[in-house]
């Protein structure tokens, strides 16, 4: 079992002929993801890698192939429209990898997607992977392994680091979700925790947070009220200075709010085991499985 | 990107918000001339990207032109939170009947722009939020429709009981929201919004922070960037498409990915060291990026050891290794380098580095420990 993606995922790639889109589509296909269609306006009728039909619009792609999930690799200035397009075409899971999407674009796209009953993951995220079954996005497949741990993270390479440590220690994962490093994202920690709590195969959850905003604090309250499964947490940015954007648009301490110390305290207060460093994940998870 | 107060004032003025007269000056004599043309009492304000300018002595009153020239001479060239003042704003010193706060922010949890107003203006809004949260009023805005007139008026009545003042303030709020959207801002605030003795609502100080992701499609706003107001190494890094933030420690860090970069800094601290910087070389792995990164880090005289932490995904470890080799051929790196690489093309990277006698590690903790020990 898994969350959000599984063997029924039928993927359409928005921006399939672009540099990033084509590279990662090949990787996803090699991993076993059912890529049913690609979209690049003006290239409808072509075939990608002799296997995947390319369409001019997402609506055409969905109608012809029954795609139920989309992944977006288009440039930042077109990304919000790509999200609107996927939602209009009736896609129910939209994963936006693109980094650099203007925040005000997301303030318009988010309520739109919600009203269409779809789920958006990202933007500025590595996507998600259900090891051995399906990957949507850019998480390297070879570092993952099937197993009982759900993982949700605001980061990309830090997620890989932790997954790698788990896999090396023989602890596999149900699904790893990168929710993205932007201030406004479609799916937050609570959405993922809720899904992991319901997923029978997930027995423990790793939550990788960082400075900025209050998502982790809200997630801590959710864990206290609704979760029976053990949760282990990490916060990146303990040494980050206030007022500076630490790479991720959302990773910024505003005034005195959104610090790592505040978030770690929120975790500890509700019994979430806090990793002092990424390598701690192995022991903390092992003793809780 | 932060705008200076004078730039933010200009955008608000263009949006139709009443803003007092005034102009900028880059020399004391220029400041005197601006004061002369304004006539009467003036305020001279340092234009730097730092809060607490008043407390630092960067905001001073002057009774007349000669005094304005004198105080400007003191403010120009002074350092506030590490930033040198190159420009001052000279504006009339207004008589004030009352001070309020109005601002637009992006509320992350609400996924929407939010208007915040408070009758307790003139001081840091964070202080108001901490001490008297009941004095802050909020209105979430659906970005698809914008701030609706009734919402603006409802907020304005929280500031002023008088309907004439409330209507003026509502007008300011609607225009402020439009200026916020037009600038592609993540924050736009007026603090204080004042009522003059004549009963006019005026924006006395303005602050606008622009979302960096908006700059590509807003060339006019992008051109407002003042590189003299930033750390030179950070400007150099941005031009090389690197995200670099200078800190005070001595372990230079070069990492791929923002989350891992923060976690690496934290781990340096965990093992008893102090990180010298945040540096993310980003997703692609052009060897030139690595050369530029090393150039920037080695230019920091505090750096006593350099730590690479690369988890190859899209970033290829061999590209990073080639970048390290290229850099050491182009200029001399006099401090020890500790390299951790794992992931895509790790084996090739190890071979490349072995060729120039540089060992590579695969474990993050081990690499950080070694880097801290070499300082």
Say which of B184, B213, B261 has its CB closest to residue A76.
Answer: B213
Compute the average pLDDT of residues A202-228. Answer: 97
Q: Which residues of A touch B255 (CB under 8 A)?
A: 157
Considering the domain architecture, whether residues A143 and A253 belong to the same structural domain is answered as yes
Pairing type for strands B98-107 and B88-92 reads unpaired
> Do residues B237 and B227 lie in contact, with contact meaning Cβ atoms separated by under 8 Å?
no
Domain tally, chain B: 3
Considering the domain architecture, whether residues B208 and B297 belong to the same structural domain is answered as no
Q: Which of B6, B101, B177, B244 is catalytic?
A: B101
Considering the domain architecture, whether residues A110 and A155 belong to the same structural domain is answered as no
- Between the two ends of chain A, the Cα-to-Cα distance in Å is 17
Question: A194-198, A209-213, B343-347, B358-362: lowest mean pLDDT where?
Answer: B343-347
CATH number of residue A15's parent domain: 3.40.50.720
> Do residues B297 and B323 lie in contact, with contact meaning Cβ atoms separated by under 8 Å?
no
The predicted structure's pLDDT at residue B213:
94
Q: Which residues of B touch A247 (CB under 8 A)?
A: 243, 257-259, 261-262, 278, 280
- What pLDDT, in 10s, does the model give residues A136-152? 999 999 999 999 999 99
Cα dist. A80→A19, A95, A114, B123, B221 in Å? 19, 12, 14, 37, 21
- Chain B, window 250-309: residues with a beta carbon less than 8 angstroms from a chain A beta carbon: 255-263, 265-270, 275, 278, 280, 283
Domain tally, chain A: 2
In a domain, A106, yes or no: yes
What kind and span of H or E run contains B272? none
Considering the domain architecture, whether residues B358 and B289 belong to the same structural domain is answered as yes
Interface contact flag, B258 A251, Cβ < 8 Å? yes
Say which of B262, B313, B343 has its CB closest to residue A246.
Answer: B262
C-alpha to C-alpha distance for A6 and A174, rounded to whole angstroms: 10
Considering the domain architecture, whether residues B140 and B110 belong to the same structural domain is answered as yes
What kind and span of H or E run contains A63? helix A58-65
Instruction: Give the tokens for residue A64.
Output: 């012809």
Considering the domain architecture, whether residues A201 and A267 belong to the same structural domain is answered as yes
Give the range of the structural domain holding residue B29, as residue numbers without chain letter. Answer: 21-92
Considering the domain architecture, whether residues A149 and A252 belong to the same structural domain is answered as yes
Q: Is the pTM of this model over 0.90?
A: yes
CATH number of residue B263's parent domain: 3.40.50.261
Express the helix, strand and coil content of chain B in percent, nearest 5 each.
Answer: 40, 25, 35
Give the range of the structural domain holding residue A165, as residue numbers without chain letter. Answer: 139-286
C-alpha to C-alpha distance for A192 and A177, rounded to whole angstroms: 8
DSSP string, B310-348: EEESSS-HHHHHHHHHHHHHHS---S-EEEEEEETTHHH
C-alpha to C-alpha distance for A193 and A270, rounded to whole angstroms: 14
- What pLDDT, in 10s, does the model give residues A216-237? 999 999 999 999 999 999 999 9
The predicted structure's pLDDT at residue B285:
66
Considering the domain architecture, whether residues B26 and B147 belong to the same structural domain is answered as no
Considering the domain architecture, whether residues A18 and A153 belong to the same structural domain is answered as no
The predicted structure's pLDDT at residue B191:
93
Nearest to B350 by CA among B322, B373, B331: B322
Q: Where are the beta strands (DSSP E) in B58-126?
A: 59-62, 79-80, 83-84, 88-92, 98-107, 112-118
- Which of A207, A217, A237, A247 is best to mutate for the B interface (most B CBs within 10 A)? A247
Considering the domain architecture, whether residues A153 and A266 belong to the same structural domain is answered as yes
In a domain, B366, yes or no: yes
Instruction: Give the tokens for residue B298.
Output: 């080695």
Cis peptide before B190 (omega within 30 of 0): no
Domain end among B92, B116, B149: B92
B240 touches chain A (CB under 8 A): no
The predicted structure's pLDDT at residue A15:
97
The predicted structure's pLDDT at residue B339:
97
Within 8 A by CB and 6+ apart from B275, the residues are A239, B247, B249, B251, B253, B264, B265, B268, B269
Q: Does the annotation count A24 as an active-site position?
A: no
Burial of residue B52, with CB atoms counted within 10 A of its CB: 0-12 exposed, 13-18 middle, 19 or more buried: exposed
What kind and span of H or E run contains B173? helix B163-183
Considering the domain architecture, whether residues A33 and A115 belong to the same structural domain is answered as yes
The predicted structure's pLDDT at residue B284:
67
Chain-centre distance for alpha carbon B333: 31
- Chain B, window 187-206: residues with a beta carbon less than 8 angstroms from a chain A beta carbon: none
> Do residues B160 and B193 lie in contact, with contact meaning Cβ atoms separated by under 8 Å?
no
DSSP designation for B73: H
Burial of residue A147, with CB atoms counted within 10 A of its CB: 0-12 exposed, 13-18 middle, 19 or more buried: buried
Q: How many CB atoms sit inside 10 A of residue B64's CB? A: 14
CATH number of residue B27's parent domain: 3.30.1490.20
Domain end among A89, A121, A153: A121
In a domain, A29, yes or no: yes
Q: Which residues of A touch B258 (CB under 8 A)?
A: 155, 181, 246-248, 251
C-alpha to C-alpha distance for B288 and B283, rounded to whole angstroms: 13
Considering the domain architecture, whether residues A177 and A243 belong to the same structural domain is answered as yes
B144 touches chain A (CB under 8 A): yes
Considering the domain architecture, whether residues B59 and B144 belong to the same structural domain is answered as no
Minimal C-alpha gap between A269 and chain B (Å) = 21
Burial of residue B357, with CB atoms counted within 10 A of its CB: 0-12 exposed, 13-18 middle, 19 or more buried: exposed
Q: Which residues of A touch B142 (CB under 8 A)?
A: 111
Domain end among B192, B222, B252: B222
In a domain, A129, yes or no: no
> Do residues B320 and B268 lie in contact, with contact meaning Cβ atoms separated by under 8 Å?
no
In a domain, A130, yes or no: no
Considering the domain architecture, whether residues B262 and B279 belong to the same structural domain is answered as yes
Considering the domain architecture, whether residues A156 and A233 belong to the same structural domain is answered as yes
Considering the domain architecture, whether residues A276 and A164 belong to the same structural domain is answered as yes
Considering the domain architecture, whether residues B217 and B242 belong to the same structural domain is answered as no
Q: How many CB atoms sit inside 10 A of residue B181's CB? A: 18
Interface contact flag, A140 B217, Cβ < 8 Å? no
Instruction: Give the tokens for residue B139.
Output: 């209105």
- What pLDDT, in 10s, does the model give residues B149-198? 999 999 999 999 999 999 999 999 999 999 999 999 999 999 999 999 99
DSSP tally for chain A: helices H, then strands E: 9, 14
In a domain, B337, yes or no: yes
Interface contact flag, B216 A76, Cβ < 8 Å? yes
Considering the domain architecture, whether residues B350 and B284 belong to the same structural domain is answered as yes
CATH number of residue B116's parent domain: 3.30.470.20
Considering the domain architecture, whether residues A143 and A276 belong to the same structural domain is answered as yes
Considering the domain architecture, whether residues B190 and B265 belong to the same structural domain is answered as no
- Give every residue of chain B whose pLDDT is below 70, as ranges: 284-285
The predicted structure's pLDDT at residue A201:
98
- What pLDDT, in 10s, does the model give residues A249-260? 899 888 778 999
Q: Does the annotation count B101 as an active-site position?
A: yes
Considering the domain architecture, whether residues B54 and B118 belong to the same structural domain is answered as no
User: Which chain B residue shows the shortest CA-CA distance from A183?
Assistant: B108
Average pLDDT of chain A is 96
In a domain, A126, yes or no: no
In a domain, B3, yes or no: no
Domain end among B54, B71, B92: B92
Interface contact flag, B313 A101, Cβ < 8 Å? no
In a domain, A4, yes or no: no
Considering the domain architecture, whether residues B118 and B62 belong to the same structural domain is answered as no
Interface contact flag, B311 A160, Cβ < 8 Å? yes
Considering the domain architecture, whether residues A116 and A151 belong to the same structural domain is answered as no
The predicted structure's pLDDT at residue A256:
77
In a domain, B8, yes or no: no
Q: Which of B69, B99, B189, B346 is catalytic?
A: B189
CATH number of residue A198's parent domain: 3.40.50.261
Instruction: Give the tokens for residue B365.
Output: 């903790």
In a domain, B40, yes or no: yes
Considering the domain architecture, whether residues B347 and B332 belong to the same structural domain is answered as yes
């Amino acid at each position: 079992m898994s969350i959000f993606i599984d063997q029924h995922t039928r993927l359409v790639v928005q921006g399939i002929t672009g540099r990033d889109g084509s590279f990662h589509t090949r990787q996803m296909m090699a991993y076993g993801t059912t890529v049913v269609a690609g979209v690049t306006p003006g290239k409808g009728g072509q075939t990608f890698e002799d296997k995947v039909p390319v369409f001019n619009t997402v609506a055409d792609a969905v109608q012809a192939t029954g795609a139920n999930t989309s992944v977006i690799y288009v440039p930042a200035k077109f990304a919000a429209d790509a999200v609107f397009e996927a939602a209009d075409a009736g896609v129910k899971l939209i994963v936006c990898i693109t980094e650099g999407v203007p925040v005000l674009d997301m303030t318009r796209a988010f309520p739109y997607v919600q009203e269409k009953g779809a789920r958006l993951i990202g933007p500025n995220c590595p996507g998600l992977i259900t090891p051995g079954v399906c990957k949507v996005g850019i998480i390297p497949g070879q570092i993952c392994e099937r197993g009982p741990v759900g993982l949700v993270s605001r980061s990309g390479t830090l997620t890989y680091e932790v997954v790698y440590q788990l896999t090396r220690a023989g602890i596999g994962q149900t699904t790893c979700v990168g929710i993205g490093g932007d201030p406004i994202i479609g799916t937050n920690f609570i959405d993922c925790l809720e899904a992991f709590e319901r997923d029978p195969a997930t027995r423990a959850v790793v939550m990788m947070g960082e400075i900025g905003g209050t998502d982790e604090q809200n997630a801590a309250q959710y864990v206290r009220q609704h979760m029976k499964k053990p949760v282990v947490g990490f916060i990146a940015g303990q040494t980050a200075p206030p007022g500076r954007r630490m790479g991720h648009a959302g990773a910024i301490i505003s005034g005195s709010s959104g610090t790592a110390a505040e978030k770690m305290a929120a975790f500890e207060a509700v019994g979430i085991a806090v990793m002092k460093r990424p390598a701690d994940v192995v022991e903390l998870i092992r003793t809780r499985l | 990107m932060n705008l200076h107060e004078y730039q933010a004032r200009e955008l608000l003025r263009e949006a139709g918000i009443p803003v007092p007269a005034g102009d900028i000056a880059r020399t004391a004599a220029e400041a005197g001339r601006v004061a002369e043309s304004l006539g009467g009492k003036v305020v001279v304000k340092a234009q730097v990207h730092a809060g607490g300018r008043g407390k630092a002595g960067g905001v001073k009153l002057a009774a007349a032109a000669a005094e304005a020239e004198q105080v400007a001479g003191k403010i120009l060239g002074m350092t506030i939170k590490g930033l040198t003042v190159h420009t001052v704003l000279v504006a009339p010193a207004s008589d004030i009947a009352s001070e309020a706060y109005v601002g637009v922010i992006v509320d992350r949890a609400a996924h929407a722009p939010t208007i915040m107003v408070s009758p307790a203006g003139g001081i840091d809004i964070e202080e108001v939020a901490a001490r008297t949260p009941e004095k802050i009023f909020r209105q979430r805005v659906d970005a698809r429709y914008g701030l609706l007139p009734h919402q603006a008026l409802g907020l304005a009545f929280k500031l002023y009981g008088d309907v004439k003042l409330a209507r003026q303030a509502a007008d300011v709020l609607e225009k402020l929201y439009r200026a916020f959207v037009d600038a592609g801002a993540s924050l736009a605030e007026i603090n204080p919004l004042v009522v003059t003795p004549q009963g006019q609502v005026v924006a006395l100080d303005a602050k606008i922070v622009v979302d960096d992701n908006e700059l590509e499609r807003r060339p006019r706003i992008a051109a407002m960037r003042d590189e003299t107001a930033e750390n030179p190494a950070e400007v150099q890094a941005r031009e090389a498409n690197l995200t670099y933030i200078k800190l005070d420690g001595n372990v230079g860090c070069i990492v791929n990915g923002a989350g891992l970069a923060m976690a690496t800094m934290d781990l340096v601290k965990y093992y008893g060291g102090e990180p010298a910087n945040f540096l993310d070389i980003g997703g692609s792995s052009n060897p030139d990026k690595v050369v530029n990164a090393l150039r920037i880090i080695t230019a920091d005289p505090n750096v006593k050891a350099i730590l690479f932490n690369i988890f190859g995904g899209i970033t290829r470890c061999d590209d990073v290794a080639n970048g390290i080799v290229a850099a050491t051929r182009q200029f001399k790196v006099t401090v020890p380098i500790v390299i951790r690489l794992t992931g895509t093309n790790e084996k090739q990277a190890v071979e490349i580095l072995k060729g120039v006698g540089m060992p590579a590690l695969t474990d993050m903790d081990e690499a950080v420990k070694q880097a801290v020990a070499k300082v």
